[in-house]
Amino acid sequence: MSLILFAEQVLNGLQYGVMLFLMAAGLTLVFGVMGLINLAHGSLFMVGAFAAAAVAGATGSFALALIAALAAAAAAGALVELLVIRRLYDRDHLDQVLATFALILIFSEGTRWIFGSFPLYLNIPSALSGPIALPGGIQYPLYRLTLIGIGLAVAVGLWALIAKTRLGIQIQAGEADREMIAALGVDISKLYTIVFALGAALAGLAGALVGAIQSVQVGMGEPVLIVAFVVIVIGGIGSIKGALVGAILVGLTDTLGGVLLPELFKLFLDNSAASSVGSALASMLIYILMAAVLIWKPTGLFGARA
């Protein structure tokens, strides 16, 4: 394989990785602060994508579509938190898993009911379409490069929000001692709603951005959700840094494994066998990576909680 192709695949892996980070950040934040497993996070990804596709279809503006995705996902997140999630903080993980599983059923069928079973399409804005020349003779789609930029910017912004602002300090304090910060006069239930809506908005943003590369359809959030769980388990649940490292690691492993493993097997198998064994193994690679990390560190790379 040529070096240029390899470099393109690395960029693809990075792009997938930063999108996974947008998903994983919300999950890990909600788990770290509130101790809650939210399976319905993938539904918020889907809500973002559908809101973006609907608004882009009506207005033709990608910027408006992105704003709509953020707003719709944040609103859906806040509503779900107020109506359902807030009753689950004190419950065990089994109840949380089931209630949020029920929310997935409601969100998916509700979306199918409103938009129908056929996929929607969201076009890449014309200003960002087409390839761009990178140093070393690489031609890479500008849109995907923008996604990498947005993802990294969000990572930095999230870090600044948590480390530098008053809200971030309250979030960290809530993670450490819920009762103490309530005693200090912080409205803890409002704080939780805000954190949940923030996580939802990030998922919605990821959905809208990815929706322009894939088609927008019911159930699109679920594969991403599972991979996002793999990311936070690898990174250590509750750790934003872990989510970023885990997301990049998983993004690169998945993308490069899909290209490199069949090539590797071609060294000692015939072509068709090599590509089928290679691709079957590549599809399992991130789960093997996760198992390996957990054998080595049962609470993930940056995790403290068990």
Partner 1 sequence: MSRESLFNAAVLLGLIAFPLWAWSVDEPFMITLATKAAILALAGVGLNIALGLGGLVSFGHATFFGIGGYAMGVLASHAQVFDPIFTQPFVFEGSKSMPVIWLFAIVFSGLAALAIGAVSLRTSGVYFIMITLAFGQMFYYFTISWPAYGGEDGLSIYVRNGFPGLNTLDPIQFYAICFTILALVLLFNARLARSAFGLALNAARQSPMRVETVGLNPYRLRLVAFVISGMITGLAGALFADLNRFVTPSMFSWHLSGELIVFIIIGGTARLLGPVVGAVVFVGLEQVLGGLSDYWHIYLGLLLLFIVLFARGGIIGGIAGREAAHE
Contact residues for partner 1 (CB under 8 A)?
31, 37, 84, 87, 93-95, 97-99, 101-106, 108-110, 112-113, 222, 226, 229-230, 232-233, 237, 276, 279-280, 282-284, 287-288, 290-291, 294-295, 298-300, 306
Q: Name residue 60's amino acid.
A: G
Which residue lies nearer to partner 1 by CB, 64 or 277?
Answer: 277
Nearest distance, CB of residue 116 and partner 1, angstroms: 11
Shortest Cβ 145–partner 1 spacing (Å): 28
If the CB atoms of residues 97 and 145 are measured against partner 1, the closer one turns out to be 97
C-alpha radius of gyration, the chain, whole number? 20
Q: Of 141 and 235, which CB lies nearer to partner 1 in the complex structure?
A: 235
CB of 291 to partner 1, least distance (A): 5
Query: Nearer to partner 1 by C-beta: 186 or 290?
Result: 290
* Least distance in angstroms from the C-beta of 182 to partner 1: 23
C-alpha–C-alpha distance, residues 43 and 207, integer Å: 10
CB of 253 to partner 1, least distance (A): 13
Which residue lies nearer to partner 1 by CB, 129 or 276?
A: 276
